[in-house]
């Protein structure tokens, strides 16, 4: 919560604080119940509900930490709670220690493994020093809960083993909390270092920044869009460089709004931008490029009452095999861009030959 006050709302710390707080409250409630200080129905269902919701918030908080956005799945928590309440009212399963513990462990294992995968996605785009340890601790904690679920099913007297596991999870939670804060600190330090690698006009990365951000070897589905504004020199010559700068800033803002959180946008110089889209489905590539082209053409430019229509040509290349080299893919996209220019501009051209095939042809 202290970290949340020092960071922006999109840091995810508020959700993560709520996640740990609810899990802690659930544990306290269970402790009161074990000492028979409240009715069994209250503490069993209450502690289980708080624990499950806290685990779900952990996933949502990690996603917000990664992308800065609150995932739409948060609405499912309300459905989850309603379903849990109905099931408890109809069956009373929460009064059975084995069933309650099993559900708690399976839910925790799933949420922690999903959280680990979210950190893995973050690590691929932002290779921060704390990401790999955080990913590993979350995955190991999830596997520990999965092992605990097996003990609950197979060992008749499982309480002693579950108590030992919870002790390990307490240590794991402290480690996760420290590493989450370390990720945010690493990210802030990285952003300060990258300020020298940002284009001063548009605020997007420059060529050197792009080389640091993209992986040297690609995965199938990774795509590159080379985006170049058509007849940009005419705008500078006719309306002045100030108007040209306004166009570049507006186009960069449009591209920034259209890209996904994991996409990498850079200005390569002049009127050319490059967009790297990791793990893009082949069926989406052309549609996304056309959406970008239409959005640029729809930007309402005016100069002293004169409407300006700005269009862009886009060249696309997409990795089809593991291990494709970044220079090959970028070169293929650049060649596709030249083809779009030769074909009349204001269009999208997809590289017809894979980079590796082009190199050996």
Radius of gyration of the chain (CA): 26
Q: 62 exposed, middle or buried (CB, 10 Å; 0-12, 13-18, 19+)?
A: buried
Residue 227: which residues within 8 A CB-CB, separation 6 or more? Answer: 255, 272, 273, 274, 275, 292, 296, 312, 313, 314, 337
Q: Which of 135, 271, 279, 339 is catalytic?
A: 271
196-203 long-range contacts (CB < 8 A, ≥24 apart) are 199/252, 199/266, 199/267, 201/245, 201/248, 201/249, 201/267, 202/248, 202/249, 202/251, 202/252, 202/253, 202/267, 203/252, 203/256
C-alpha torsion angle, residues 237, 239, 241, 243 (rounded to 10): -150
**Is residue 271 flagged as an active site residue?**
yes
Q: 196 exposed, middle or buried (CB, 10 Å; 0-12, 13-18, 19+)?
A: exposed
Six token digits for residue 194: 């990258």
Element (H, E) at 177: helix 159-194
Collapsing DSSP to helix, strand or coil, 156 comes out as coil
**Are 218 and 229 within 8 A, CB to CB?**
no
Six token digits for residue 149: 């679920």
**Are 139 and 172 within 8 A, CB to CB?**
no
Six token digits for residue 242: 């100030």
Q: Which residues are catalytic?
A: 271
């Amino acid at each position: 919560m202290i970290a949340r006050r020092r960071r922006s709302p999109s840091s995810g710390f508020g959700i993560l604080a709520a996640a740990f707080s609810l899990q802690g409250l659930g544990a306290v409630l269970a402790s009161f119940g074990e000492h028979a200080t409240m009715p069994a129905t209250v503490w069993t269902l209450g502690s289980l509900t708080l624990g499950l919701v806290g685990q779900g918030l952990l996933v949502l908080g990690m996603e917000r930490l990664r992308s800065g956005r609150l995932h739409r799945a948060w609405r499912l928590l309300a459905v989850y709670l309603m379903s849990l309440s109905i099931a408890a009212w109809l069956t009373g399963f929460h009064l059975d220690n084995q069933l309650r513990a099993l559900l708690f462990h399976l839910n925790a294992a799933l949420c922690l493994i999903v959280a680990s995968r979210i950190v893995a996605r973050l690590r691929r785009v932002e290779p921060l020093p704390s990401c790999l340890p955080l990913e590993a601790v979350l995955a190991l904690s999830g596997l520990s809960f999965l092992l605990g679920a097996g003990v609950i099913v197979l060992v008749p007297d499982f309480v002693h083993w579950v108590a030992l596991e919870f002790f390990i999870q307490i240590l794991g939670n402290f480690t996760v909390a420290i590493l989450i804060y370390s990720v945010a600190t690493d990210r802030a330090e990285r952003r300060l270092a990258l300020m020298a690698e940002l284009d001063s006009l548009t605020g997007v990365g420059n060529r050197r920044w792009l080389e640091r951000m993209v992986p040297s070897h690609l995965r199938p589905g990774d795509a590159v869009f080379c985006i170049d504004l058509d007849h940009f020199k005419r705008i500078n010559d006719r309306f002045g460089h100030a108007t040209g700068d306004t166009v570049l800033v507006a186009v960069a803002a449009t591209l920034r709004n259209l890209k996904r959180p994991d996409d990498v946008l850079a200005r390569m110089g002049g009127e050319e931008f490059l967009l790297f889209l990791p793990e893009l489905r082949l069926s989406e590539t052309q549609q996304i490029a056309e959406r970008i082209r239409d959005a640029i053409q729809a930007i309402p430019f005016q100069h002293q009452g004169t409407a300006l229509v700005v269009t862009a040509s886009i060249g696309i290349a997409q990795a089809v095999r593991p291990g494709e080299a970044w220079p090959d893919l970028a070169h293929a996209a650049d060649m596709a861009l030249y083809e779009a220019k030769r074909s009349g501009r204001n269009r999208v051209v997809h590289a017809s030959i894979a980079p590796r095939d082009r190199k050996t042809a």
